[in-house]
Structures are given as structure tokens and as C-alpha cells.
Structure 1
Amino acid sequence: MAKKIAVLLSGCGVYDGSEIYETVLTLLRLDQSGAEYQCIAPNDAMMHVINHMTGEEMSESRNILVEAARLARGNIIDLAEAKQEDFDGLILPGGFGAAKNLCDFAVKGADMSIRQDVIEFVRSFHEALKPVGLMCIAPVMVPQLFGEKSVCTIGTDPSVAEAITAMGGEHQDRAVDDICVDPVNKLVTTPAYMLAGGIFEASKGIFALVDEVLSMIKKYN
């Protein structure tokens, strides 16, 4: 029976939502591996909307779920309706939406807070001993989601690594094509576009993360 993975998105677009290449590469690798997936996102307003041509904020409001539906080709469900019991694992792509719409790290740094529905959903996988993968900037949520001494990577950025340490996590530097595995928490992280200079380079670590999450499902089932 095919394994089914929940993919938690935060919008659509690197500057205000889920990073598009990271998301597509994740879905591609899952499909290549014979796994099923379901995209999920909170049904709420984005923190703000960024013009991806200019990098400037736009004077409009958009919905996280509606924007994420672009990436999922419409096949997406509201986070409020998602149940951990329906999945074997969970993956969170990066993009600034992870640091703006799933939590407020982009604004508050180490003093950040995470959306309660995100906390409950991710922790439900942890409590059920199911693997979770996070990439790019998303691992900043690891200490609050998995507890003190949980191990992760965002690459080699010293300021973000310091914030993770300040929140009680353990950061390990990793190259773009590498992953960081915390076997105690069944947690896998990779730098992706925190370091990647192009889509092929990003694919190496992302594919490795997906492979490890799927391997963990087989190992612990």
C-alpha cells in the first residue's frame, strides 16, 4: 500500500508563501517514489503580499489556502480539516511564508510564536512517532515544535542558527546537498534555498529529505 504524505504549505511564492521550486521538487520526488501526497494549508489571511518582480509590499490581502491551491493544482484541503491519522508522514517546504504565515519568525526572530493549528498538527505526527521533514527556513520552528535539544539545519547562516540555539534547539551546519537527521524525533531537515544557487542544486537535498522521510516510515512501521 502506498505511503501518504501530508505537505503543509504557506501560500505560493518565495517572498510571501511556499517556495515554488521546493514544493514542486518535493511533490516530484514523492511521486517518483510511488508515494501519495495531500497538500494542506491554513485557511487564513497571509501576513502580507509581495510583488515578486520588485520585492515591494502590495496593498492587498490574499488567503494562504487559496494561494497554496495554485501550487496544488486545486487539490488541497484546509488545515482545520486535516487529520494526522490519514497520513504516514509530514513535509513542510520553505519559503518566507513559513516564517510569515505559519509562524512570525520573519518579524520576531527567536521571540517568535507559531500558529496554534500548525503546532497541533505537527506535534500530532511527533506524538504518533511519524517522521517529519522541514526545509529551507521552516526548521526555525523545530525547537518549539519538537522541544529542547531537537536537532536541525537551515544550512550555514549564523544569525538564523543562533536563533535556533536561543530557542533551545541544536543547529548543525549542512551543505545544500545534505540532510540533518534527528533519529530521536524522527525529524529530517535540509537547507534547500537557504543555500541553493539553482533548482538542480536544491533538488539534491530535497530529494534526500523525501527519501529519508519515506525510509523512516518503512523502518519504524
Structure 2
Amino acid sequence: MHQIDLKRAPLITDNRYHKSDERTILVESARLARGRIESLAKLYTTKYEAIVLAGGFGTVKNFTDFFTKGINARLLPDIAKVLKEALVQKKPIVGVCAAPLLLAMAVKEFGQTGQQITFGTRAQSMDFLNILNNWGVEHIEKPINQCHIDTKYRLVTATAYMYENASAAEVFSSIQAAIERLNNLLK
């Protein structure tokens, strides 16, 4: 597993910022994964068959400046490098939950448009969808237990917790669908 090695953005708990905890994202990732985590700067896409981004709010918060720049957001350099290399090498990239936003940004920053992702329901994700539409991204709404595959860019996206009030079992089925599609792409 790999992660960026930067100071974390302030912790957000109950919509309040807390600056007392100074762990880096890399240290926090190792704590959560209970294992060895390498810096994302050390990830060489040629050594892997695919890239999988687990998603969640922290993915957008820690890998982009989306929450401060909105429509003008960019990926941070380490993740931009990895995703752009994977796109050039035509490797499958999986984005779950909020991570499809990063995939859309990567394709946009690569100077391309027309990518397709699933990013929750239209009703719940409208603010995001307006920006994605402006970037030339097509949102394909899928049921929670399905994923979407963009065959042009080899992007596999699943909604997970971006799907309204999804239960843990539904989130599992969403992620499972994405990983099964990834496995099919790798055969």
C-alpha cells in the first residue's frame, strides 16, 4: 500500500477543525491499515497491474484542493503523477465512494474529456455533478450493488457511501462489484 507523506489537513469532527493532532497522512494510514505503508512518491505504476483508490471524504480532502478551489481544483502532485502514469499505461483504475472525483480530475488534468463515472445519486451529489459536468465528465447513475466501467479510460467506479443512506452491507456489495469488474479486466 502507498500513501502521500504530507501533514494532514486539520481534523474535522462534527464540522469543527481540530489542530491538536499533528500526525502525517502517511503515519495515520499506517495506523489505520495496521501495516507498512510506503510513501506515494515511491509508487511506480509499472510494478502494478491496476490502481485502486478506496475513497472516502479524506481522499478528496488529502489528495486534492477541491474543498478550497471547487471547479478549479487540482490533484496534489504525487497522486497526479500516479494517476496520469496509469492512464498513459492504460492500467485499470478503480475509484470507490468519493474517489471517482479524483479519477475525473486526473483525466481532466491529462487534457482529456468524455470520461464516465458513477458518483452516487443525482439528488445527493448535485453540487459535485455540476462541477463534473463542467469538466466534461458524464455521471452514470447506478444501483448501489453495481459499478460502472469506462472502457475508454479503463476507470471502474462504485458509489459505496456516496449512495444516499447506504448500509454497510450495501457498501460492501458496491465495492465487491468494482473489484470483480477489475478482476475481469485483468484476466
Judge same fold: TM > 0.5, yes or no: yes
Verify: 1:185 aligned to 2:153, yes or no: yes
Distance 1:107 1:154 in 2: 20
**1:212 is aligned with what amino acid?**
R
1:155 to 117, 120, 123: 120
Residue of structure 2 equivalent to 1:40: 2
Tell me the CA shift for residue 149 of structure 1.
Answer: 0.5
**1:87 is aligned with what amino acid?**
Y
Identity of aligned residues (%): 28
Tell me the CA shift for residue 133 of structure 1.
Answer: 0.4
**2:5 is aligned with what amino acid?**
N
Distance 2:19 2:95 in 1: 30
Contact 1:96–1:106, Cα closer than 8 Å, also in 2: no
Tell me the CA shift for residue 55 of structure 1.
Answer: 4.1
Contact 2:160–2:166, Cα closer than 8 Å, also in 1: no
Aligned 1:45-56 pairs, distance under 5 A: 45-51=7-13, 54-56=14-16
Gaps of 5+ in 1: 1-38
Aligned 1:90-105 pairs, distance under 5 A: 90-105=51-66
Distance 1:120 1:78 in 2: 13
Distance 1:76 1:200 in 2: 27
Structure 1 vs Structure 2 CA RMSD: 1.4
Gaps of 5+ in 2: none
Residue of structure 2 equivalent to 1:166: 134
**1:101 is aligned with what amino acid?**
N
The higher-RCO structure (CA 8 Å, 6+ apart) is 1
Distance 1:106 1:184 in 2: 28
Distance 2:42 2:23 in 1: 20
Residue of structure 2 equivalent to 1:207: 176
**1:144 is aligned with what amino acid?**
M
Deviations 1:94-136 (A, max 9, x none): 1111111101222322221110111111111111121000011
Residue of structure 1 equivalent to 2:74: 113
1:198 to 167, 182, 187: 167
Verify: 1:58 aligned to 2:29, yes or no: no
Distance 2:69 2:144 in 1: 26
Deviations 1:47-104 (A, max 9, x none): 21123xx442212333111111123212211111111111111110111111111012
Distance 2:57 2:67 in 1: 8
Q: With structure 1 as the length reference, what TM-score do the two structures score? A: 0.76
Q: With structure 2 as the length reference, what TM-score do the two structures score? A: 0.89
